Amino acid sequence: MSFKEQIQRRRTFGIISHPDAGKTTLTEKLLLFGGAIQEAGAVKNNKIKKTATSDFMEIERQRGISVATSVLAFIYKDKKINILDTPGHKDFAEDTFRTLTAVDSVIVVVDVAKGVEEQTEKLVQVCRMRNIPMIVFINKLDREGKDAFDLLDDLEQKLGLSVTPLSFPIGMGYDFKGIYNIYEKNINLFSGDSKKNIEETIAFDSLESTELENIIGNKAAEELRDNLDLVNGVYPPFDKESYLKGQQQPVFFGSALNNFGVRELLDCFIEIAPSPRAKKAEERLVEANEKEMSGFVFKIHANMDPKHRDRLAFIKIVSGTFERNKPYLHVRNGKKMKFSSPNAFFAEKKEIVDISYPGDIVGLHDTGNFKIGDTLTEGEALHYKGIPSFSPEHFRYINNADPMKSKQLYKGIDQLMDEGVAQLFTLELNGRRVIGTVGALQFEVIQYRLEHEYGAKCTYENFPVYKACWVQAEDPKNDEFKEFKRVKQKFLAKDKRGQLVFLADSQFSLQMTQQKYPSVKLHFVSEFD
């Protein structure tokens, strides 16, 4: 197969949802279609449950499992599909944001009864900002839920999407009869025991056919015709170009648990979803079909086995082919590196591969050379954009609880921050270290890992911060900026990359500061133009 064909057959995507909407179940059904797993339940444990807050071993165990399921790859109808895991738990949202830099499209799963939920809103917003093509799957149609049109409204109003349904439910919950596939023009009937079988479909050239009444009954047939008339009147026809630009989002209905509507979703997905796209580096736009290899680190995972402390860095290949034992330039530190055992991921396994293509994820063993956002190339100094830090939600001073182990503590903090577990801010005034996290759970994870992996002990102390804002001075030499730095010295810190950050203690003080120093721009994200 040619290099070009290899690129065109790849689909690298993420499934995003609020916890419990059915992401894991859907992932599993997709893998079943690909023949990548033999039975249901194989990826079931792929989530970190909040109940485990105080049970560190449980967190570790679950993290261990999530390494194995970070990337799930399989072949379906000759397409190479890479699903990147995106933790739904909000404490790990930052991990998900970063993973979204490595996907070419996403599937959004929404619970039919709950509609759009908080975590869906946040994640979809990130995808919208980046114009990532999205398909929506409304799940759990076997249960009573909201009216289909209300749900479509919800998607438009709460998520700001421009939707068009490509399938439509016939009944719901107890009365759920099946799904009309607008894209393929056929009906898929639901029967209670379809759990393992792939349903047979009935093609309809015209919905006016009286055959419809025979199959789903008079009332349902009339309702379906009315609903489809409404769909035609209200929603624009599906337009692939608009979908690819992130301007239109097709919607499917189904039930992942009952394997219903999943094949329709997958068949449409492989046809319309993009193959690996060009990616913007700071220097230029890099096309997937360029000959020279380039890729970037979007995730680092610590090894859970205490005897092997090395980590696994996940690289998304953007262009060219990644080959085993070939030297590549680590752009940040200027070193050439060779990798003798790059891992590729298949279903739940990882194995050493000789060659990987754009869209693939390669896992590289790392002894501390990589940070999230690092770029590998064949020599060109490229820096991939789009892996920003977001303002954390929780902030605490971190103190050394064992003065004999300060070296271990600082090494540990350093490495955990490289992995992206949390963010470190060093105060300008006194050099004290402040840890910022998205969720409270991370403080416990950090404390536990410092002790068990680095032999260091830490304690925390409250530090009330409302938001961390990255500072951009219109003119670093002007008096206003000097004045800002002098007056706000107590609230200024450097992040890990050395960027200046203002730690606002309240929304009020943030507003006042913005008003008082208009030429000093404050951003909630570390990347800005």
The residues binding ligand G4P (CB under 6 A) are 17, 19-25, 44, 47, 88, 139-140, 142-143, 255-258
Nearest to 496 by CA among 437, 403, 444, 433: 433
Is 142 annotated in some ligand binding site? yes
Is 85 annotated in some ligand binding site? yes
Q: Cα(82)–Cα(306) distance, rounded to whole angstroms? A: 29
Is 205 annotated in some ligand binding site? no
Would you list the DSSP string of 62-96?
A: HHHHHHHTSEEEEEETTEEEEEEP---SGGGHHHH
Place of tokens 């001075």: 473
Q: Cα(511)–Cα(52) distance, rounded to whole angstroms? A: 38
Residue placing its CB nearer to ligand G4P in the complex, 41 or 464: 41
Reported residue count of the chain is: 529
Which amino acid, one-letter code, is at 423? Q
E strand or H helix that includes residue 297 = strand 294-302
Is 459 annotated in some ligand binding site? no
Q: Cα(66)–Cα(87) distance, rounded to whole angstroms? A: 9
Residue 79 CB, nearest distance to ligand G4P (Å)? 23
Q: Which two tokens stand for residue 41?
A: 């339940």
Q: Cα(194)–Cα(189) distance, rounded to whole angstroms? A: 9
Is 169 annotated in some ligand binding site? no
Residue 162 CB, nearest distance to ligand G4P (Å)? 24
Residue placing its CB nearer to ligand G4P in the complex, 120 or 249: 120
Residues 264, 251: contact at Cβ < 8 Å? Answer: no
Residue 21 CB, nearest distance to ligand G4P (Å)? 5
Is 464 annotated in some ligand binding site? no
User: Residue 164 contacts by C-beta under 8 Å, 6 or more apart in sequence?
Assistant: 235, 236, 237, 238, 248, 249, 250, 251
- Please give the C-alpha separations between residue 401 and each of 398, 448, 456, 460, in angstroms, as whole numbers: 9, 13, 8, 9
Is 140 annotated in some ligand binding site? yes
Residue placing its CB nearer to ligand G4P in the complex, 20 or 444: 20
Nearest to 295 by CA among 273, 279, 311: 279
- Please give the C-alpha separations between residue 63 and each of 48, 52, 124, 410, in angstroms, as whole numbers: 7, 12, 24, 23
Is 104 annotated in some ligand binding site? no
Residue placing its CB nearer to ligand G4P in the complex, 195 or 497: 195
Residue 57 CB, nearest distance to ligand G4P (Å)? 21
Is 22 annotated in some ligand binding site? yes
Residue placing its CB nearer to ligand G4P in the complex, 165 or 276: 165
Residue placing its CB nearer to ligand G4P in the complex, 255 or 377: 255
Angle, vertex CA 369, rays to CA 365 and CA 371, nearest 5: 100
Residues 401, 458: contact at Cβ < 8 Å? Answer: yes
Which amino acid, one-letter code, is at 455? G
Q: Cα(254)–Cα(190) distance, rounded to whole angstroms? A: 10
Residue 177 CB, nearest distance to ligand G4P (Å)? 15
Is 20 annotated in some ligand binding site? yes
Residue placing its CB nearer to ligand G4P in the complex, 23 or 279: 23
- Please give the C-alpha separations between residue 258 and each of 80, 116, 211, in angstroms, as whole numbers: 25, 21, 26
Residue 463 CB, nearest distance to ligand G4P (Å)? 32
Residue 18 CB, nearest distance to ligand G4P (Å)? 7
Nearest to 315 by CA among 302, 300, 327, 297: 297
Place of tokens 């050493």: 352
DSSP secondary structure letter of residue 153: H
Residue placing its CB nearer to ligand G4P in the complex, 88 or 133: 88
Residue placing its CB nearer to ligand G4P in the complex, 44 or 452: 44
Q: Cα(461)–Cα(138) distance, rounded to whole angstroms? A: 44
Residue placing its CB nearer to ligand G4P in the complex, 47 or 177: 47
Residues 341, 354: contact at Cβ < 8 Å? Answer: no
Residue 23 CB, nearest distance to ligand G4P (Å)? 3
Is 505 annotated in some ligand binding site? no
Residue 61 CB, nearest distance to ligand G4P (Å)? 17
Residue 387 CB, nearest distance to ligand G4P (Å)? 25
DSSP secondary structure letter of residue 124: H
Which residue numbers belong to the known binding site?
A: 17-24, 85-89, 139-142
Which residue numbers belong to the known binding site for GTP?
A: 17-24, 85-89, 139-142
